[in-house]
Structure 1
Amino acid sequence: MPTYVFKSRLPTIATAQASTAQTTVEIAVPEMVGRSCRLEGYDKRDIPTFDVEEQIIAYASPDSTFAVTKKLIDAASKTIVIGIYDFTAPYMEELLLAAMARRVKVTLMLDIDTKPESDMFDRLVQMGMRGVSAPSCANPTVHVFSSSHEKVVVIDGEWVLVQSGNYSANSIPLNTVDGEAGTGFRTGNRDTGLAIKSSSLANFFAEILEADMALVDAVPEMLRKPVEDDFFLVERAPAHRPSHLFPSRTFNLTAPLRVQPILSPDNYMDIIPGLISKARKAILIEQQYIRSSQPLVSKLLAAIAEAKAAPPTLEVRIVLGKLFSQGDVIKEERNLENLAAAYGLKLGENIRYINTDEFVHCHNKMVVIDGESVLVSSQNWSDAAVSRNREAGIWLAHDGIAEYFAEIFENDWASAFQQLPDAGDAEVMTPESLGNGGYIRVERGDYEEV
């Protein structure tokens, strides 16, 4: 009988104990692929700006990401190129299989570190997809990045989707109606994304993905080692739907809009601290976590402090993600002390935690400045994310788009927890224990620190 490991906040320990009336079993909980491998050299690129003149769609999870993604993938007629960190949602596999059935050429570069990903990858390759194991520490041969953590999709060389969310059931929940709460609505992670119609920008991101894939210079299947998992993780589902849903919003541009790609390890730290330091009204941030003691993250926080020093009335508010273990709570207590002492950012007033009665997690990596500009990206606030991973984002200044994401932030801030949440105690469950319902499966790629 397979064992189901459940913790109300996910495990960070190496083993868990399962007790029944008949026997006691020790269950090994494997770690994900280590991300501290020795990296090969990478030559940073000069990242240009682009003038976009057509259309931009802003979207969010759990509200509208799947609906927007399905619409664009279903409309693909020639090519789909994807670079993504986690891909486990079976319905996303079905979308790609349907595209391949109508002769669309699909390319997937995936950071493979779990058995469900490995199995899915193999099935798609068997059906004719071009598959490449990303050149990260998860690849047993080619180690250029700690993690290939981007979430980029290029369709027909015309559209590019850049987002914070993975292709997991919580980051792209199966909500087919855009921003509406029908009877089958599924909550999930808070994530955000931008779909931009621009052949020049789409081709730029396609070239980045192709260059990364070219670093893997052997048959992808031969470079991969099997990933063996004999367990999966579940947790209690949020008790309620989000109080307000946000349909995607389409912006038809009437004048060229300057768009700046933000990549790690290339230009994140060259651009983002300076943009933050120039804020004069408000800095709104949603992040999975902030590792305030890490040197490069300290520079980002120093940029916030610099902005606060210019007009003392500057508003800084941050929504952070869920804490998955009691060990995380202890670390976060120290983190909050440092954020308050070094940067004047206080729990409740400046920092809150996503309401897990409505959302699974805050997996977002969004920055809104002065209600005028926004960063939508894959970069967490860790040194690895801004300097050693492959990550991707978009920075743009557009009042309407910034307003859309600011509205989402305000909704999440209003319901967020103002005290440090309790991570809860661990449980181990049998398949029969799950029969009463009330649980959701959680993919480790959505919460692992990278």
Structure 2
Amino acid sequence: MRSLLTVALVVSLLAVSPVAAGNSPTPNATATPASQQPGPPTIYAVYPDPVAGGDRGEFVVLDVPPGTELGRYALGDGHSTVELPNGTTESRVAVTTDPRLVRNLTDTPVRGVNGSLELANGGDQVSLRRGNTTLQTVRYAETTEGELGVVNGSTLHWQPLGATDRPVVTGGPADVRAFTLPDAPAAPLRAIRRADERVFLAGYTLTSARVADALLAAQRRGADVRVLLEGDPVGSRTTAEAQTLDRLSEAGVEVRLVAGPHARYRYHHAKYAIADDRAVVLTENWKPAGTGGNSSRGWGVETGQPRIVDSLAETFRADAGWRDAVRWSTHRAGRRFERGEPATESYPRRFDPERVPVNRTALLVTPDNAQRDLVATLDGATTSVDVVQPTVGGWDEPLLRALRRAASRGVRVRLLLSSAWYVREENQRTVTRFEEWAKRADAPLEARLADPGGRYGKIHAKGAVVDGDQVILGSLNWNEQAATSNREVVLRLDGRAAGDYYGRVFDADWRGGRPTLPVGPAAAVLGVLAVGGLAARRVEFEGENA
């Protein structure tokens, strides 16, 4: 993330005199108490360095209390002042001298002003005034082109224009469908295969022919089918994926990729689908190794909670509708694609999908709100925290500090990490450091590398069970970059039954097991090698951001 720039923020509130109704007092006239009058606007954000030539499209975003008469106030840039337009306005408004251009840059309602409001790229100040009184001043140093500076206490947080600021959304009591992979590869497609109105599929990558078949079948049933993926995945895009996206695009499915120099997120890493009135949230990619059940241990859930479904659909539209979401046909022009190794193994089915009741579900997204919520959840743990991750971030990052705080309170913490060859050494160092810390602190914390034992190929799940009755699952790798720079989607499920289901999966993976042979044609070959005293293993590489 870009560094935070210091902002001097000075606010003084004016006392607003009550005004009686009418032109003169009457026996029945009553004055509105000052305490009930709306307060003054405040500066929410500044956009001083547009991408457009000549810095056209600068604007200032104000938070305006309902009922505020905007025309009483003015904005100044240290050199000139512009009066705000008359009339009351929405709770948030973008003020600019170039309203036609700015309406294409933001979903915030736009108000045009006359005069000159010029915000220097090398550093400047913006002041909100009423009469001769300055109510608030925001100062900033050098800017980055195309970024919005959002006032955050005494600092400015710079973020790409168009990045969302979504709150945590919760859904009430309901039954959800819990499942795990590779055990139940049909589960992620269940809702898509039933949809006939809409399917919005978001992912990091999409190579699965099964998923493409389901999307095309939904389109033939009349559903509005759209796909949104990462434009530049780690390790490059494979030929198989390019062919899959060609197939969808040529059939009329809208396929877009988040890409380009002004992309709002480092990676579009979310993994979910909206299918009619159902939502599916996953830890896995839409590929044979993930949703196909051919390699990865993953967690997933399907829910029909209206607030969760609607909010997730809004997130999809916000991400797919912005200018950094380019059409596949445009993105693929002139690009070369890499040959990938297909995942073809199969594994025993030990955990069937289950319908489980939850008291509440919370929808979290990054970088907007997820890390704060997850840290608070860990800080509220009282008995146990079980975490499964492919790998984790730095020792002093917020989520890992929260794990150690929990253990320091006497909460039993277990951290299970992948033993895949490409992260094994790094994860072993993490395990060793946690074990040494736990011994010094006399804290009930354990960490280990997973032993798949033939039940799956590698750990790719990103989840946790807290106190046995809260489940966290989604696309978020527990590291600071993913939490603050990527688009990720996470669900928090509150309920003992959900905790029991995913807790059983975690316990089985924590215990590991004696290696067993994968089922299917490969078993016979490996059996012959075993008789000869040989060991053979083929693994598929996936970067830690997958």
| Structures share fold, TM-score greater than 0.5 | yes
Q: Provide the rounded CA distance (Å) in 1 between the counterparts of 2:387 and 2:448.
A: 9
Task: Say which of 128, 131, 140 aligns to 2:255.
Answer: 131
3-state SS of paired residue (2:186): helix
CA deviation vs aligned residue, 1:170-229 (integer Å, no higher than 9, x gap): 21126xxxxxxxxxxxx5211011111122221110110110112236751324455423
Shift in Å, 1:329: 4.1
* 1:297-308 to 2 correspondences below 5 Å: 298-308=397-407
Contact between 2:188 and 2:300, CA under 8 Å: does it hold in 1?
A: no
Does residue 369 (structure 1) correspond to residue 369 (structure 2)? The answer is no
Separation of aligned partners in 2, 1:46 and 1:332 = 33
User: More relative contact order in 1 or in 2 (CA 8 Å, sep 6+)?
Assistant: 1
Q: Which amino acid aligns with 1:277?
A: D
Cα distance per residue 1:57-94 (max 9 Å; x no partner): 01110112x32233211211100001111211111111
Provide the C-alpha distance between the structure 2 equivalents of 1:218 and 1:74, rounded to a whole number of angstroms. Answer: 26
Query: What CA RMSD, in Å, does the superposition of the two structures yield over aligned residues?
Result: 3.0
Deviating more after overlay: 76-85 vs 267-276 = 267-276
Q: Which residue of 2 aligns with 1:389?
A: 486
Amino acid corresponding to residue 130 of structure 1 in structure 2: E
Note closer, same or farther for the CA distance 1:225–1:141 as it changes in structure 2 (3 Å cut): farther
TM-score by length of 2: 0.61
Distance 2:197 2:513 in 1: 43
Kept after mapping to 2: 8 A contact 1:302/1:343: no
Indicate which of 209, 212, 223 corresponds to 1:90: 209
Aligned pairs for 1:33-432 within 5 A: 40-41=160-161, 43-64=163-184, 66-112=185-231, 113=233, 114-115=237-238, 116-134=240-258, 139-156=259-276, 158-173=277-292, 187-216=294-323, 220=327, 221-233=329-341, 241-242=347-348, 245-251=350-356, 257-293=359-395, 295=396, 298-311=397-410, 314-325=411-422, 328-342=423-437, 349-355=446-452, 357-415=454-512
Aligned equivalents of 2:213 and 2:330: distance in 1? Answer: 25
Structure 1 residues 117 and 216, CA, compared in 2 at 3 Å: closer, same or farther?
farther
CA contact (8 A) 1:354 1:412 kept: yes
Amino acid at match of 1:214: G
**TM-score, normalised with respect to structure 1:** 0.73
Q: 1:197 to 1:237 in 2, by over 3 A?
A: closer
C-alpha change, 1:348 and 1:447, in structure 2 (3 Å) is farther
> Quick one: distance in 2 between partners of 1:252 and 1:372?
11
Aligned-pair CA distance for 1:56 = 0.8
**What's the offset of the Cα at 1:291?**
2.2
Deviation at 1:405, TM superposition (A): 0.2
**Contact kept in structure 1, 2:412 and 2:444, CA below 8 Å:** no
* Greater C-alpha radius of gyration: 2
Q: Which residue does the alignment assign to 2:44?
A: none
Structure 1 residues 40 and 49, CA gap change in structure 2 (3 angstroms): closer
How many angstroms apart in 1 are the aligned matches of 2:227 and 2:344? Answer: 32
* Superposition deviation, residue 347 in structure 1: 13
Aligned pairs, number: 361
Q: Which 4+ stretches in 1 moved above 6 angstroms?
A: 345-348, 438-441
Q: Could you list the per-position Cα deviations for residues 114-172 of structure 1 after superposition, in whole angstroms to 9, with x for gaps in the alignment?
A: 132222112101101111112xxxx235421111000110111x111111011111211
The DSSP-based 3-state class of the residue aligned with 2:211 is: helix
Letter in 1 for 2:403: I
Is the alpha carbon distance of 1:237 and 1:160 closer, same or farther for their aligned partners in structure 2, counting shifts above 3 Å?
closer
Q: Secondary structure at the match of 1:300?
A: helix
Could you tell me which runs of 5 or more consecutive residues in structure 1 were left unpaired when the two chains were aligned: 1-37, 175-186, 418-437
Assess if the C-alpha contact under 8 Å between 1:140 and 1:223 holds in 2: no
Check 1:334–1:274 CA distance in 2 against 1; reply closer, same or farther (3 A cut).
same
Maintained 8 Å contact 1:61/1:192: yes
Q: What's the CA shift string for 1:359-379, capped at 9, x where partnerless?
A: 211000011011111101110
Q: After the TM superposition, which of the residue ranges 316-325 and 391-400 deviates more from structure 2?
A: 316-325
- Give distance in 1, aligned partners of 2:427 and 2:449: 12
Sort the Cα spacing of 1:217 and 1:84 in 2 relative to 1 into closer, same or farther, 3 A: closer
Contact 1:140-1:224 within 8 A present in 2 as well: no
Compute the displacement of 1:251 (Å): 2.8
Bigger mean CA offset, 361-370 vs 218-227: 218-227
- Cα distance in 2 for partners of 1:303, 1:75 equals 41
For the 8 Å contact 2:416–2:510, the answer to whether it is kept is yes
Change (3 A) 1:94 1:195: same
What is the letter of the counterpart of residue 390 of structure 1?
R
Q: Alpha-carbon deviation of 1:252?
A: 5.3
Quote the residue 1:5 is aligned against. none
Q: Distance in 1 between matches of 2:453 and 2:334?
A: 34
CA distance in structure 2 between the aligned counterparts of 1:373 and 1:43, rounded to whole angstroms: 29
Contact kept, 8 Å, 1:49 with 1:258, in 2: the verdict is no
